[in-house]
Structures are given as C-alpha cells and as structure tokens.
Amino acid sequence: MNVVVLAGGTSMERDVSLSTGSMIYKALKQRGYNTVLLDVYLGSNVSAEDAFTIDKDWAADIGAIDEDVPDIDAVKALRDNPDYYFGPNVIEICRNADIVFLALHGANGEDGKLQAAFDLMGIRYTGSDYTSSVLAMDKSITKEVFAFHKVPTPINIHIRRGEAFSWELFPCMVKVCRGGSSVGVYLAADREEMVKAMDEAFIYDDELVVEQYIKGREFSVGVIDGVALPVIEIAPKSGFYDYKNKYQPGLTVETCPADISNDIAGRMQQIAVDAYNALRIKAYARMDFMMDDNNNLYCLEANTLPGMTPTSLIPQEANVVGIDFGSLCDKIIEVSLKKYK
C-alpha cells in the first residue's frame, strides 16, 4: 500500500506535527508500507512519478520538538508563494497514494480545510471528515455542542476581539478558540491577569473562550472507532499542561491506566464516547478531562488529530490494551478507510 504521511504546515503546532509524522513514517516503513513523509507546506523536489520508488529516508531531517513555539514567518520565508498552502508536488504525490496519513495539527491541517480540499480532489485520508474537524477545532462551537448533548464541560463564554463581555468567576482559563497543544492558553487568578492573558491570546486568534478553572486532576481518553481506550492521567511537575510540559520529556508524569476507581474510569470513558458521537467524529480522537475534588468530571475539548510523538497520550493508552505503536497506525488506517466504503 502506498501511504503519504503528511506533516508540518503553518500552524503553531508545526514542530509537534513533524515529530508525529516522523514517528508514523518510521512505524509504517517497518511494517512494510511504501511510505513517503511530506511537509505539506514546504513540499518536495521529488516528482510524483518517483516519490514511491526513490530510495530516500524522508524523516532524516526531522529534529526534536523545541520548547518554544516555532517561527512561522521564518518558515513562510522559505517559499516563493507563501500564501499557497500546498508545497511543490504535494497534491500530485498524495493523489498517487492509496491513503494519506494526516499527522497535521492546528490551523489548516486539523480544522477541516484540508479535509474538504482532499474530498474535492478524491484523495483519501486518515481521521475524521471536514464537518467534525470544524466542530472540534473551534472550542466555542465544541462547548455549544457539548451543552446541547449534555456532555459536562466547564462554565464558559465566547469573546470576540473588541466585544464587550461579563465574567466574574475566578480563577479562570483563557484560551484561543482555534488552537492546540496549549498554545494561547493561560491561567488567570483575577481580572487583571485575565485582561493581560486575553491581550496575549488575541495575538494568536480573534476569538477566545474564557472558562471556569477546574482545580483537580487532569486526564485524557482516546476513542478509536467509537470504543474508548483506557484513561490516562497527566500530572505536570510544575504549572499546568502547557506547550513546554507537553513536549519536553520528563516535565510531566503520565500514568496509564490512571489510578482511579473503575466507576470513575467507566464514567469518563462513556463521556468521551458521548463527546465523540456529539461532534460526529469518525475514525479516532482524544478527549481531555478535568476531575475536581468531588469527582465531578468535565470534558474540556476533543482533538480529531491527536499527537503521536514520543510523549503523546493515545499511543500510551493503546499500549495498555496490547496495541503497539505500529499496530495502532495500522488500526487508524483500517478505521479511516471505513469513510470510503
């Protein structure tokens, strides 16, 4: 089977995406797939005719994730036509693949735009379709869907740049609507900190979500083809689960299966499946949770293209039930192909 692993892009999660793509590419190669790894934005000088026959280590130039958010302007400066999303030969190579394994994160790759474009071009891809990608990428829309379907989530408001608002619940979390990997996410203890956090968050997005801060323990649950994986607990050694704590090894303790009762684990897994269904997600996703001191559960958001880096959560969850990383990649391709039957 010819598989393109598509990574990179122009979002703030570019480095995470490249790390994810590199791991997937290596795993698929080891399992006998005829695999190409492409940066969707920078593309390749290899032609579509040669891509699947050339002897090339496509992951050779992929490095570790830096603790700082990547400089997207510097990336765009590498292109003669920076406003065109697809790099040289990307579309042509993808059209020659049996399926494209999406390792993209954030804007343009995870928000339904690429999925819609590929649907129009007849290119098959892993993960959910464009509809659920749009719903899950926008935290404000996600919260509205959760409220309608009675999926428990923190109290929240949606704020557009320059718009008047009312909020008196502190501490609180300030989040960009369409971000990921905790880029543009801030904890504010009072109104002064909230206003400062909003100013910083508006650098990344014109719309924000301010939500109730839930003091407690943080968890995540992967769902594959409508079935929940074991619950994993995430405990940063300092601060909260921000970009640095997520991707720098040793800064966060992750425990799977989580040290919670079977009853709580079962409730959390059911809520994860409910969220998956409410957002009409297909193939696989990851739902993030907080649990307060009274064991109340809150689903924060859904990730339709969750990370698969050396420190990512779904691979750890799958491993607990005997699915190694390569088998997980196989499974994702298998369930994703159901969209096209």
Q: Residue 245 pLDDT more than 60?
A: no
Q: Are 301 and 136 in contact (CB under 8 A)?
A: yes
Using the predicted structure, report yes or no on whether residue 31 has a pLDDT greater than 90: yes
pLDDT interval class at 13 (50, 70, 90): confident
What pLDDT, on a 0 to 100 scale, did the predictor assign at position 311? 74
**Mean pLDDT estimate for the chain:** 92
Selected residue with higher pLDDT from 292 and 240: 292
pLDDT at residue number 16: 87
Q: Can you give the pTM of this predicted structure?
A: 0.91
- Taking a C-beta distance cutoff of 8 angstroms, is the pair 39, 94 a contact? no
Look at residues 225, 299, 226, 220 and name the one whose alpha carbon lies nearest to residue 260: 220
pLDDT of residue 36: 97
Residue 12 banded pLDDT, cuts 50, 70, 90: confident
Q: Tell me: the pLDDT tens digits for 162-195?
A: 999 999 999 999 999 987 656 789 999 999 999 9
Amino acid in the structure at residue 131: T
Check pLDDT > 60 for residue 244: no
pLDDT of 316 > 70? The answer is yes
pLDDT, one tens digit per residue, over 146-164 is 999 999 999 999 999 999 9
pLDDT of residue 68: 72
| Statement: residue 239 has pLDDT above 80 | no
User: What per-residue confidence (pLDDT) applies to 261?
Assistant: 98
Q: Which residue has the higher pLDDT, 11 or 102?
A: 102
Average pLDDT over residues 16-43: 95
List domains and CATH numbers for the chain.
Answer: 2-125 (3.40.50.20), 155-212 (3.30.1490.20), 215-322+329-340 (3.30.470.20)
Per-residue pLDDT tens for 84-133?
A: 999 999 999 999 999 999 999 988 999 999 999 999 999 999 999 999 99
- 189-216 pLDDT, tens digit per residue, is 999 999 999 999 999 889 999 999 999 9
Q: What is the pLDDT of residue 236?
A: 79
Among 20-24, 59-63, 90-94, 150-154, name the one with the lowest average pLDDT: 59-63
